[in-house]
Amino acid sequence: MWNQLNEYLEKYNALTQAIKLLAWDIETEAPKDSIDNTSKILGLLSSEAYATLINPEVEHLLEAINPADLPAREAAIFHELRKQYKKLKVIPKQEYQAFTELTTKAQHVWAEARQKNDFAMFAPYLEEIVATHKRFIGYLGYTDHPYNTLLDDYEEGMTVAVLDDFFAEVKAAIVPLVETAVKGNEQLDDSFIFASYDVDKQRQFSRFIAEYLGFDYARGVIKESAHPFTEHMHNKDVRITSSYLENNISSGILSTIHETGHALYELGVADTWTATLVGEGTSMAMHESQSRFYENVIGRSLAFWQPLYPRLQAMFPEQLADVPVEAFWRAINKVQPSLIRTEADEVTYPLHIMVRYEIEKGLFDGSIAVKDLPQVWREKMLEYVGVAPSNDAEGVLQDIHWSGGSFGYFPSYALGSAYAAQLTAALDKVLDREDDVAQGTFKAINAYLTEHIYQYGKTKTAKQLLEAMCGEAFNPQYYTEYLRAKIADVYGK
Ligand code: ZN
């Protein structure tokens, strides 16, 4: 019976890979006018993929097979299928399709609304997306808080109770750090970051850095897109994009390092699991922990830049010859409250996430209404980040996530940074990380992460991985301590 089920799984995998490849192509190489036709093909393939998993035969096999009779590998895949099946099955097919159509449309409307700075134009779509999610939560059920059901889609087992504590602790730690930084900014010159840097040379440097960190061009590709992202087909085909700005040398480099972290995770999934339902990173937050570990813990450290910086200076002598490595390192760590999440520094970033978290929670417990969002956004930005937007394009309309129906996703970004800090502490017990980084050697670090995280794919949850690696449950204190130490280093005590 397993063989019968496996045929469906292999077809599903083939369709999924085709979908990802087309979606990747739309974002990177496809000519602009191809999008209408290719979108239709994507829609068709998606319905086909859905029908391959959700049908009476698969349901019958899921009931007939006893996972206790399966070998360990097959049992792990079976469990994942049963979990995904249960979630999809309770939502009527028509409603699922209607939601896909709604969010496809909503993303276009959102893009236009943002451009025109017109929240009212987007509001009815957002109302409907929230209403649909509420209906879906009704089908799926929830424990303690309706938002928990949405959180679970991105971080299995994550709850409002855990996040409330987490964000309270983060906020208490960060507010004084931001004050220290803002005072210190009078002595921190970062103007050279925004000089003019030839984009071709930036691209060349970024490609070098990715390989330096362990990215393998025989199994990976780097292209460009407006918003950098990572996609994977399997562990021999992982693709990332970066984005270079002529007037910002750190943006492209740090984006490349971030996506390289995501890529290393997918490249490190064991052959046993790749191209199966469990053959990818286990959760959004664990994925973000890897990208943020490489971007922030490694890529924004002085040890990282000491051996590399002369190479960057040689490439851009006019802009950087007179800038010492310490000044460059301070500049890429500058903390400054700002309006746009994706441009925020490492310290104020989680405050931007907190604004979104509070709003999402309020939308689903009924304490916040969609129509009030622009106002609520301004109030919360002022309260948490200390600045408020004068228009909605720089406020509530800045992120694509809600238009695509992604509620419960944002907390993963902040959790990822916190996981990264905790696993860094675990890694530092067995490795001399700083020394390795200063030597430009990433073999031991990558091997450690592969051994404890990457190889398992989805066969272990983030919670299980973290506890096994760190010997304790998720503890946000590592994160707040890491940020305190960073600010003390960059700004002096
Ligand atoms: Zn990321």
Higher-scoring residue by pLDDT: 33, 325: 325
- Are the beta carbons of 19 and 49 closer than 8 angstroms? yes
**CA nearest 460: which of 320, 323, 281?**
281
- 108-119: per-residue pLDDT in tens? 899 999 999 999
Separation of CA 138 and ligand 1 centre (Å): 30
65 φ/ψ angles, rounded to the nearest 5 degrees: -85, 135
Q: Catalytic one among 231, 259, 266, 295?
A: 259
CA of 258 to the centre of ligand 1 (A): 6
440, two tokens? 């430009």
What was the pLDDT predicted at 493? 59
Backbone angles phi, psi at 287, to 5 degrees: -65, -45
Q: Mean pLDDT, to the nearest integer, of 310-324?
A: 98
Sign for the pseudo-dihedral over CA of 194, 199, 204, 207: positive
Cα-trace Rg, the chain = 23
Q: Please give the average per-residue pLDDT across 256-282, as a whole number.
A: 97
What is the Å distance from ligand 1's center to 288 Cα? 5
CA 260/CA 220 separation, integer angstroms: 10
Would the pLDDT of 292 be above 90?
yes
Q: Is 259 a catalytic residue?
A: yes
| Whole-angstrom distance, CA of residue 110 vs CA of residue 93 | 25
Q: Is 375 exposed, middle or buried (0-12, 13-18, 19+ CB in 10 A)?
A: exposed
Note the Cα 238 to chain centre separation in Å: 16
Alpha-carbon torsion 483, 486, 490, 493, what sign? positive
Question: 49 with 15: CB under 8 angstroms?
Answer: yes
Tokens of 85: 């099946």
Quickly state the pLDDT bin for 19 (edges 50, 70, 90): very high
How far, in Å, from the CA of 284 to the mean position of ligand 1?
A: 9
Question: Near ion ligand 1, which residues have CB within 5 Å?
Answer: 291
Q: Average pLDDT of the chain?
A: 95
Structure confidence at residue 3 as a pLDDT band (50, 70, 90): very high
Q: Is the pLDDT of residue 35 over 90?
A: no
Tell whether pTM > 0.85: yes
pLDDT number for residue 492: 86
Ligand 1 centroid from CA 462, angstroms: 16
β-bridge partners, 237: 234
Dihedrals phi, psi of 224, to nearest 5 degrees: -125, 150
pLDDT at 185 over 80: yes
